[in-house]
Structure 1
Amino acid sequence: MIDIIAELDAIRRRVHAPGDDLAVRLERRYPSDVEDVWDALTDPERIARWFLPVSGDLRVGGHFTTEGNADGEIRVCDRPSRLVLTWGGPDSVVTLDLAPDGDATVLTLEHAVPLAFVPDGSGALYVGPGWDGALLGLGAHVSGTTIGDPDSPEMLEFNGGSIPRWETAVRESGLATEEQIAASVVAATAQYTVVPS
């Protein structure tokens, strides 16, 4: 059983518009050294334990596929501090930065897409809760624990708690109207808290 509130509070969230992009930014501290977190992010056997099975040419310039989700290209792989890859298309870019913090590691994940792809900042509600779940899974993995099935009541509760946190981040960004935010909250709730039939 996870402490859902503590896990949700462990992530710092931000929505911003750097240049011509809209980005979600997540930051979380892990009680493990940088080399271990890096290995968990880049070793296919470990990735499958906390995220999804991954296959492909896992080197700079190589293409990969995650089972049942996105594919992409690895653009930067600077061990043990930076990984940059595309996610589902060439203009959807995920950057992972790792920094030592004593015996721990601070991971910053930023997912950016061109502003032309999203009508407003509330689009963060379509991806932010999913990244929250990924960071939760990574935390459980490096701590030697496990989390429930993605459709378990515990995970659906975690997802349900993630949505208002992303709603706050969008509101604080000033990049969406209240009407846009409300519509995206409804869509995110259906996407992340309802078990598919």
Structure 2
Amino acid sequence: MHNRGTYTEFDGRPAVKFERDYSCSAERVWTAITDPNELAHWFPATVESELRPGGTISFSFPDEPDAAPTTGRVLLVDPPRRLAYTWEGDELHFEITPTPEGCTLTFVNVLAERDTAARNAAGWTLCLEMLDELSAGTTPVGAETPWQPVYEAYVADGMPHGAAVPGQ
């Protein structure tokens, strides 16, 4: 499995962190993480946002009729470099750094609960695989890797786990 997340701390709070290298521009990745039409290809919810600090960000799940929409707050917007917002008690932090080959995306999911680390890392691993495809210029059709083996690998590596898994 490539580009696995790592368990870490962010300002003393539990977090999972991912780093991805892209051969496209920082602006291209910025669009992929901020434009609702682009997010629809890789993010696990439909997103609408007021892209400004303090703005509202809403998440809905059209494919899951029992899932209620939620809202968060935009914490930081610094195009095309940094974006952060809250979601369900977690924080999502994106940082894009230009490189000679393109850019590097560092994504950190600051966790409300430590035991969600393996569950969230597995989910983000699959989502980020689709972002990789989108950034490479292809339209993702869905994660090719099943979620359960990814989750089990994180658990086997000792990542904190035990939180309920939606749908199970």
Alignment of 1:80-91 (within 5 A): 80-89=80-89
The question of whether the paired residues in 2 share the 8 Å contact of 1:83 and 1:95 is answered with yes
Structure 2 alignment gaps of length 5 or more: 62-68
Q: Verify: 1:107 aligned to 2:105, yes or no.
A: yes
Alignment of 1:16-165 (within 5 A): 16-51=8-43, 52-68=45-61, 70-89=70-89, 92-114=90-112, 117-118=113-114, 122-149=115-142, 154-156=144-146, 159-165=147-153
The question of whether the paired residues in 2 share the 8 Å contact of 1:13 and 1:26 is answered with yes
- 1:18–1:76 CA distance, 2 compared to 1 (3 A): closer
For residues 20 and 169 of structure 1, the distance between their equivalents in structure 2, rounded to whole angstroms, comes to: 22
**2:158 equivalent in structure 1:** 170
The question of whether the paired residues in 1 share the 8 Å contact of 2:42 and 2:128 is answered with no
Structure 1 alignment gaps of length 5 or more: 1-7
For residues 48 and 25 of structure 2, the distance between their equivalents in structure 1, rounded to whole angstroms, comes to: 26
Structure 1 residue 55, shift from structure 2 partner? 1.7
Deviations 1:54-94 (A, max 9, x none): 224232211111221653111101111111111113xx211
Which has the higher Rg, Structure 1 or Structure 2? 1
Normalising to structure 1: TM-score of the pair?
Answer: 0.69
Deviations 1:145-176 (A, max 9, x none): 233346xxx342xx2442244225535xxxx5
| Counterpart residue type for residue 147 of structure 1 | P
1:148 match: secondary structure: coil
Structure 1 residue 47, shift from structure 2 partner? 1.5
For residues 98 and 170 of structure 1, the distance between their equivalents in structure 2, rounded to whole angstroms, comes to: 28
| Counterpart residue type for residue 87 of structure 1 | W
**1:5 equivalent in structure 2:** none
Q: Which has the higher strand share?
A: 2
For residues 19 and 45 of structure 1, the distance between their equivalents in structure 2, rounded to whole angstroms, comes to: 32
| Counterpart residue type for residue 167 of structure 1 | V
For residues 12 and 101 of structure 1, the distance between their equivalents in structure 2, rounded to whole angstroms, comes to: 21
1:58 match: secondary structure: coil
The question of whether the paired residues in 1 share the 8 Å contact of 2:6 and 2:18 is answered with yes
For residues 21 and 27 of structure 1, the distance between their equivalents in structure 2, rounded to whole angstroms, comes to: 19
For residues 136 and 48 of structure 2, the distance between their equivalents in structure 1, rounded to whole angstroms, comes to: 25
Question: Please, what is the CA RMSD of the aligned residues?
Answer: 2.7
Aligned residues: 160
